[in-house]
Structure 1
Amino acid sequence: MSVFADAAVTAHVVVDHPSAVHHAASLARDAARASGLDATAVERAAVLTTELAGNLLRHAVDGAVYVQRLPQNGGLDVVAVDRGPGMASPDRAMTDGYSTTGTLGSGMGAARRLADELALRTLPGVGTLICARFRAPDAAPARADLGLVCLPLRGEEACGDSAAVADAPGGRTAVVVDGLGHGVEAAEASAAAVRVFHEGPERPLPELLGAMDRALRGGRGAAVGLLRLRPGTAEHCGIGNVRLLLVGHDGVGPRAAGQPGVVGWNMPRPLPRSLSMPETSAAVLHSDGIAARWPDTATPFLLGLPPRLLAAALGHGHRSVRDDATALVTGAVRRNT
C-alpha cells in the first residue's frame, strides 16, 4: 500500500541524518503530484522541503517534517517542527541574506517565495514550527483554516485512523475515524466510514453516524467523532474514544467525548451536543493516539498556534507510540464566509 493511498495519511520523517533530507523531499514530490499540483509547484514543494529539512538537520533538536495532503480543495502542507533553540529574530530570518551560521542565508527568504502560504511560529527555548502550504490550481477558498496529521503506528504503513472535511452552505463538517486496533483491517473500517461521510456530509450528524454504523457491520468497527461548525456554534456527535476540545489563546474551553460504544457493533442512539464557539477559537478533534492529557500541560504558545501548526505540534509532542494518531484542527466558521 502506498503511504499516500489514503489522502488523509501523513508522511512523517525524523530528520536525524542527511539521508532524511532527501527522503523528505521525495515524499513531498510524490504527495504534491498526488494532490494535483502542476509540475512547477511539485518542484517548488520538493525544493522547499529540502531547505526546511536541511535547516532542521543543521540547527534543530528533535526535528521532523510532516507532509500532509489537504483533506479538501487539493493542495499540500509541508510542516517542519523542532524542539530546538527557537529563532530570536524570525522577521530577520525571513530576509534574504540573513544567516546565523555564516552560510548564504537564502533559505527562509526563499521559503516565503516558494510557498503559496507560509506560517511560522517560534519561541526561544521551545522550538519552531513552519508550515509551507501549496494550493492546487483553481482550488476554492476554504471556509476556515485547517490542520491535520494522521499518523500510522510506528512500523506500520497502513493507518487505522482517517479524517475528512467538507464545506457546504450549512457549515463545515469534519470527521475523525479510529478503526479498532491498527493495521490493514482497521484502515479498511476507517475508509468505509469516510466513504459514507463523503456521500452526504451535510446530513444531520446522528443520521451520518447511523449510515456509518450500517456500513461497518460485520467488520472491525470504529470510534467516530463528527463535528459541524456554524458561525458561533460547534455541534458534536460521536461514538467511542474520539475527543473534541475548543481552544484559544486564553486556554482550553469546552470538551466533549463520544458516547460509549462502537460504530458497526453496539452503537447507542447518537445524541448531538451543541457548544458555543467564539470566532477566535479553534476546534481540535483527535483520536486516542493523541494523549488525552495533553491539555493539562498546554502552554499559551501551543494553544495560540494556527490550526495547521497546532495539528503538527500535537502529533509531534503528544503522540502515543502504541497506536495510530490523528489530530484535526479547524478554525471557527465566521459569519462573513
Structure 2
Amino acid sequence: MDLSIFASQTQVIGLDEQSDVGHARRTACKLAEQHGFDEECAGRVALLATELCSNVIKHAGRGELHLRVLPRNGGGYIIELLTVDRAQGFDPPTCLADGYSTSGTQGIGMGALARMAQVFDVYADSRGAVVLARLYEPGAGAADLRVGISQHALYGDPACGDTWHLAIDGQHISAIVIDGLGHGADAEVAARAGAAAFAEAPFADPVQLLHAMHQAMLGSRGGAAALAQYDGANDNLAFIGVGNIGASLIAGSQARGLASLPGIVGGQFRKAQVFDYAQANGKLLIMYSDGLQSRWNLQDYPGLVHRHPAVIAAVLHRDFCRGRDDVTVLVVDLEAAHA
C-alpha cells in the first residue's frame, strides 16, 4: 500500500494580534523539526508561517493558522500551513506579483512565498481569504497529495467524535468518515473503533468492510459512517453509507449527492447497499460529518472548484460549520495516478 493516512485534528492557532505571529512561527517550526525536517527546511517553514500570519494580521486584523502533517508517498512528511480569515478579500493575481504589498510594507511578498513552498494556492472573495502552503524536504515521492482535511472538535476539546481514514494503493483510493454519536470521549471511542477495523483492510469488499466496522463498534455509542472506494483502472467510485454522513461527487458546475441509508453503525441498520458511480476520474469527492451544514454549493464560490482540495475543505469549514458539534470535511481529487 502506498499510503495509509490516520486521522488527526487540525491544529488551530488564533491570530488576533502581532504577538500571535511569533507563537505560530515557533509552533510550525517545532512541528517540522519533530517530523525530521533539517535546519534549512524547518527554517523555510518558520519563515512561511511568519509571513502568512503577518499578512492575516495586517490585511484582515484577525484570523487563524491551521497546521497539519501528512505522510508522503516514498517516505517523509508534508507540513501544511493554511491561513483563514473573514476580511474583504484581495485579488490573488495582483498579490502574487513581486513587489506588491497589501499594507505598504516591505515584506517578502506572496510571489516569493509561492516560490518557497512546493505547493501554494489561494482563494479570496468578499467573504475572506484562504492561503495554502505545503512544504516537504527534497526526495522521492515529489507528487502532491491532492487531498484536503479539516477536522475540528467542538469547543477545541482534545477528544473528537469524528474521525476519518484515507488509504491509497496505486490507482485505488479508499476513504471513510465516521461520526460517533454525540461528541467527546465516548463518541471518539466509537469512531476510532470503526476506523481501526477499516484500516486493517481498506480495499476489502465495501459491504464486508462496513460490517467489520459495525462489529468493531458494537458496545459503543455507535455512529454514522460512509465509505468510498475509487478504482482508477475502471474509473468507478463505489459508495456505501449508514447514517448522516454527507457526500457529493463534483465535476465543474455539476454536483451529485451520494446516497446513504438510515441506521447506526454499531447499533442497528436494516441493510447496507453499495452505489456505483461511473466516470469519476477528475471529479472531487467531498465527504463531511453533520457538524457541517449541508446547504453549501461550490457554484456560489466562483473558481473554488478548481482550487486545491485543502483550500476547498477550509472554505467549507469556515463558512458552514454549525458550531455545535464536531466537524470533519474530507476533499479528495479523484485521479487514476494519485500519489
Partner of 1:22 in structure 2? 22
Distance 1:71 1:214, change over 3 A: farther
Partner of 1:68 in structure 2? 68
Whether 2:96 is the aligned partner of 1:94: answer yes
Query: Percent of pairs identical after alignment?
Result: 33
Distance 1:134 1:326, change over 3 A: same
Question: Map of 1:235-254 to 2, 5 A cutoff?
Answer: 235-251=238-254, 253-254=255-256
Segments of structure 2 that go 5 or more residues without pairing to the other structure are 1-5
Partner of 2:316 in structure 1? 314
Question: Map of 1:127-206 to 2, 5 A cutoff?
Answer: 127-135=128-136, 138=139, 140=141, 145-169=146-170, 171-206=172-207
Partner of 1:221 in structure 2? 222
Deviations 1:151-204, CA, capped at 9 Å, x for gaps = 111241221111111111461111111111111222222222222222111111
How far apart are the structure 1 equivalents of 2:301 and 2:102? Answer: 28
How far apart are the structure 1 equivalents of 2:136 and 2:190? Answer: 29
How far apart are the structure 2 equivalents of 1:51 and 1:30? Answer: 17
Distance 1:156 1:335, change over 3 A: closer
Distance 1:38 1:206, change over 3 A: farther
3-state SS of paired residue (2:123)? strand
Query: 1:27·1:67 contact (CA, 8 Å) conserved in 2?
Result: no
Query: 1:8·1:164 contact (CA, 8 Å) conserved in 2?
Result: no
How far apart are the structure 2 equivalents of 1:266 and 1:307? Answer: 34
3-state SS of paired residue (2:324)? coil
Distance 1:230 1:116, change over 3 A: same
How far apart are the structure 2 equivalents of 1:331 and 1:175? Answer: 15
Whether 2:87 is the aligned partner of 1:84: answer yes
How far apart are the structure 2 equivalents of 1:296 and 1:206? Answer: 31
Segments of structure 1 that go 5 or more residues without pairing to the other structure are 1-5
Query: 2:122·2:307 contact (CA, 8 Å) conserved in 1?
Result: no
Partner of 1:233 in structure 2? 236
Pairwise CA distance, 1:80: 1.3
Q: TM-score, length-normalised on structure 2?
A: 0.87
Partner of 1:3 in structure 2? none
Distance 1:318 1:27, change over 3 A: farther
Q: How well do the aligned residues superpose, as a CA RMSD in angstroms? A: 2.6
Partner of 2:3 in structure 1? none
Whether 2:10 is the aligned partner of 1:10: answer yes
Query: 2:172·2:336 contact (CA, 8 Å) conserved in 1?
Result: no
Partner of 1:291 in structure 2? 293
Q: TM-score, length-normalised on structure 1?
A: 0.87
Partner of 2:330 in structure 1? 328
Query: Which 4+ runs in 1 deviate beyond 6 A?
Result: none
Distance 1:228 1:154, change over 3 A: same
Pairwise CA distance, 1:286: 0.5
How far apart are the structure 2 equivalents of 1:146 and 1:194? Answer: 18
